[in-house]
Every structure is written in C-alpha cells, then in structure tokens.
C-alpha cells in the first residue's frame, strides 16, 4: 500500500524472489505509468527490476485496494509519514490505509508497518482495523507487526536484497513465523533476522537514523572548531576513523544532511520525547547544528565576495541531497542557492538526475536559477564553482577546463573532495569545510 520510494523498492524486491506482489496507490497517473514500465523515482537497478517482474506477472499495479488485498497474506503499509508543523510524524495516510484494510479483509492477514512511524503506531493501526471489522460485524483474525526499512537511497536494491539486518516486531508467534518465512530467501548465507517486541522495532528505526545524524552533526561541529583553531578536519577524520570503535562511516564533514529520513526522524523522535516530558538535548543539538551547517558555504561565499552578490554568478555542481538519487528533500543545495540568490546572485546548476525535481518543485519559484545538461556548461563565466553533492563524475574533473571556463579559479567545496595542496598547485583558490 503506497508506491513511493519504500513501497516500490520493497514490492520489486519481494517479486524478484518469486512472490506475487501487488502495489497499490491512489494516484491514477502514477499507476498508469508504472504499468507502462515508467518508474517515477531514480534508484539504480529499480527500473529494470520493476519492468522484468511486471512482464513476468509477479509484480502488478492497481488503484483498487479491495481487489489487491483479496488474496493477500501480507499487507505492507508503505505510505508517507510527512512531518507536521510541530515536528511530529503525520499518520493520516497510515491510518487511512489501515481503515481500508479493515473494510476489505476477509481472511487472516499480517499487516506490516513498513513506513517510519512513531512508537505506538502499531497499536493505533490495530485499533482502526478492529473498529472497521466491528462495524462490519465480522470476526477476522489479524496481526499488526513492525518491519522498519533501512534502505540507503542510491543503494536500496542492494540493501534490500542483501540486508545487514531484518528487524521485525510482533506480539504473536504466528505473525513472526510468517515474516521469517518471507525473508528467508534474503538471508541464505547468514541469519540476519532480528525478532523483538513491536515498540522496540518501531524505536529501532528512529534510533538508527538519529545515531547516524548525530555522527554527521558531531563531525560538522568538530570541523567548525577546526577552522577556528587552525586544524585540518580531513587529518582529524583520518586520525579518529582509524579507531575501530569509531570507524570511518558518517564522519565526513560537509554542508549538512538532508533527505527524507534524517531530518524528519530526528525531529519526530525529539517531539515524541518532549510529549513525554523528556528534553532530548542531544537530538535538539543535532538538528540545530545541521540547520546552521547548511549555511556554512553561503557564509564562506559572502566572506569572499561580500554581502551584496548582485552581478555575481555561481556554478552549482549537485542538487540532490546525496549521489545516486534524484531526491531533493531537505537538500543542502536548496538552502545554499536560496541564500545566494536572495543577495542578488545568479546560479547556474547541474545535477545528473535531480534537475527535474529542482525545476518542477523545490526551486521552481526561484527565477535566478538556470539549469544546464553538462557540468562544464555550468561554469561559463561564473565567478566561482560550488560543489554540493559528491557525484562520482565530480571526483576527477578536468581542472584545466574548469579554470578556462570560470571567470575566476575559485572553488568552494562543500564535501571536501579534493586535496588542498594539489588545488593550490593548480592555481585554484580552494575553500573547504573545516580547514582554515
């Protein structure tokens, strides 16, 4: 139920293992396009998998909920849980699906919360389904379980097909066995199935994302201190990453995290804590540091060019919040571009996949942004280049070509991709994060 990022990836991967899957959505246009093999999101390997399984008859698409669940053993709720104005997760779509399930189910069913939802949501889903069954005057057994997703955008297919772990929270052995059987094909080499109670499973998802976001904000805070004391954050990262207790994952300094998970989940977990009269000081700090970090690059530009950027043009490499996706939700590029254009600057942007998202939604009202189809075309007569997203095609560019096209050989690197000494030798004015 829901053919967004999580629903479509999950459905395609379950079908790939031989299950018969029906993906349901209320968006007629999206379903029609999926039936034609047109995937609405960019995720490496997803389009091929969707087309193959749809052609094989194992993956189907419909807007008819009643027909979809008629022969279903398991129903996954994978609709969005957007962030409310107060930071909480909005459960209206999850509970609407639960109501629909209660209206149409006619045999034992395992209902799975796949969406990222606050602790206690399974109880609400169960209550809504039961209320609908009571209204129908029928007694049908069902179980609600929690099965949070841990997919990395850009590597979701790999993560699903070869998971680090499969977390399932259930309060009945019957439901747990159904879920274990479903995931057996994904764990042939090692049993990574972790069964637990429902509330712990719901909490595990939030705790995982909050921990990763904390590592990012911590490292960004250290990078800001490094600049002020004259240390090099790149050396510091190597020094601490070699400690096996810390490791190298998620300790790269940058211009802030974004995406559909970390910002929303950190705020939702903090809201849950505050609702229970606990002050989540670390979570609040993580969010505050990330908010400020997105302005680090604009502040460096302002320091170099002045507060009034009228008449200045900046080339932007990267719009998506991370490489290998077209997702721009909470992307640092949005803040960076809006901060620059609000001061009179013009921006020429390039991204391998996210241009349509920027043009049609996230930056559609910003008339000071132009888009090009080549990273080098973005540079023509620009006053500086700003690297925002670490796409592979940006890792080893032609620096001579960059210098030739730019008005000035100035590069603001929001992801610390290049060696400072080399850039200086090439004649660049090179500005990094966490390096004085």
The pLDDT tens digits of the residues spanning 61-113 come to 999 999 999 989 999 999 999 888 888 889 999 999 999 999 999 999 999 99
**Residue 133 in tokens:** 């069954």
With CA atoms as reference, report the closest residue to 382 among 395, 392, 369. Answer: 369
Tokens of 419: 């060696």
Residue 112 in contact with residue 94, Cβ under 8 Å? no
Spell out, as residue ranges, where the chain has pLDDT lower than 70: none
pLDDT at position 190, please? 74
Buried b (16+ CB within 10 A) or exposed e, 371-397: bbeebeebbeebbbbbbbbbbeebeeb
Q: φ, ψ for residue 39 (rounded to 5)?
A: -90, 130
Query: Token digits for 362?
Result: 């996230």
pLDDT tens digit string along 313-324?
Answer: 999 999 999 999
Q: Which pLDDT score, from 0 to 100, does residue 23 have? A: 97
User: Facing residues of 7 across strands?
Assistant: none
pLDDT at 85: 80
pLDDT for 83 equals 83
Residue 196: phi and psi, rounded to 5, are -160, -175
3-class SS string, the chain: CCCCHHHHHHHHHHHHCCCCEEEECCCHHHHHHHHCCCCCCCCCCHHHHHHHHHHHCCEEEECCHHHHHCCCCEEEECCCCCECCCCCECCHHHHHHHHHHHHHCCCCEEEEECCCCCCCHHHHHHHHHHHHHHHHCCCCCEEEEECCCCCCCCCHHHHHHCCCCEEEECCCHHHHHHHHHHHHHHCCCCCCEEEECHHHHHHHHHHHHHHHHHHHHHHHHHHHHHHHHCCEHHHHHHHHHCCCCCCCCCCCCCCCCCCCCHHHHHHHHHHHHHHCCCCCHHHHHHHHHHHHHCCHHHHHHHHHHCCCCCCCEEEEECCCCCCCCCCCCCCHHHHHHHHHHCCCCEEEEECCCCHHHHHHHHCCCCCCEEECCCCCHHHCCCCEEEECCCCHHHCCCCHHHHHHHCCCCEEEECCCCCCHHHHHHCCCEEECCCEC
Question: For position 89, what pLDDT does the model report?
Answer: 86
Closest CA to 430 of 406, 410, 408, 402: 410
Burial (CB < 10 A; 0-12, 13-18, 19+), residue 84, is middle
* Tokens read off for 206: 């939030």
**120 — alpha (psi -120 to 50), left (phi > 0) or beta?**
left
Torsion of CA 263, 264, 269, 274, to 10 degrees: 90
pTM of the predicted structure, to 2 decimals: 0.92
Nearest to 404 by CA among 380, 387, 374, 428: 380
Q: Which of 13, 23, 226, 261 is catalytic?
A: 261
Which residues touch 300 (CB under 8 Å, ≥6 apart)? 412, 431
Asked whether 290 and 254 are in contact (CB, 8 A), the reply is: no
- Does the annotation count 13 as an active-site position? no
Predicted pLDDT of residue 84 = 82
Tens digits of residue pLDDT in 341-394:
999 999 999 999 999 999 999 999 999 999 999 999 999 999 999 999 999 999
């Amino acid at each position: 139920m829901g053919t967004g990022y999580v629903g479509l990836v999950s459905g395609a991967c379950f079908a790939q293992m031989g299950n018969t899957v029906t993906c349901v959505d209320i968006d007629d246009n999206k379903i029609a396009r999926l039936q034609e093999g047109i995937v609405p999101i960019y995720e490496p390997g997803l389009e091929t998998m969707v087309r193959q399984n749809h052609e094989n008859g194992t993956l189907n698409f419909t807007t008819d909920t009643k027909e979809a669940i008629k022969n279903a053993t398991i129903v996954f709720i994978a609709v969005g849980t957007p962030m409310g104005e107060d930071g909480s997760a909005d459960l209206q779509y999850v509970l609407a699906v639960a109501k629909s399930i209660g209206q149409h189910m006619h045999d034992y069913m395992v209902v799975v919360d796949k969406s990222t939802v606050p602790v206690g949501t399974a109880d609400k889903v169960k209550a809504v389904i039961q209320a609908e069954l009571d209204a129908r005057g029928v007694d049908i057994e069902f179980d609600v379980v929690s099965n949070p997703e841990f997919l990395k955008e850009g590597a979701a297919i790999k993560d699903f097909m070869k998971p680090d772990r499969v977390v399932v929270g259930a309060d009945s052995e019957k439901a747990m066995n159904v879920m274990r059987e479903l995931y057996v094909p994904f764990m042939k080499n090692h049993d990574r199935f972790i069964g637990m109670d429902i509330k712990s499973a719901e909490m595990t998802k939030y705790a995982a994302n909050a921990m990763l976001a904390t590592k990012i904000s911590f490292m960004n805070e250290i990078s800001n201190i490094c600049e002020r004391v004259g240390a090099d954050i790149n050396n510091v990262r190597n020094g601490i990453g070699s400690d096996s207790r810390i490791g190298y994952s998620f300790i790269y300094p940058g211009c802030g995290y974004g995406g559909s998970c970390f910002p929303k989940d950190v705020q939702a977990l903090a809201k849950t804590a505050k609702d229970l009269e606990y002050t989540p000081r670390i979570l609040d700090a993580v969010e505050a540091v990330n908010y400020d970090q997105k302005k680090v690059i604009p502040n460096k530009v302002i320091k170099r060019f002045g507060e009034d950027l009228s008449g200045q043009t900046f080339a932007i490499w990267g719009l998506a919040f991370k490489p290998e996706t077209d997702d721009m939700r909470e992307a640092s590029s949005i803040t960076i571009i809006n901060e620059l254009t609000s001061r009179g600057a013009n921006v020429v942007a390039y991204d391998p996949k996210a241009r349509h998202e920027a043009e049609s939604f996230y930056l559609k009202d910003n008339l000071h942004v132009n888009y090009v189809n080549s990273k080098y075309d973005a540079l023509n007569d620009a006053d500086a280049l700003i690297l925002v997203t670490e796409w592979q095609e940006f890792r080893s560019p032609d620096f001579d070509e960059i210098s030739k096209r730019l008005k000035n050989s100035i590069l603001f690197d929001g992801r610390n991709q290049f060696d400072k000494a080399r850039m200086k030798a090439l004649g660049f004015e090179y500005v990094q994060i966490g390096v004085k």
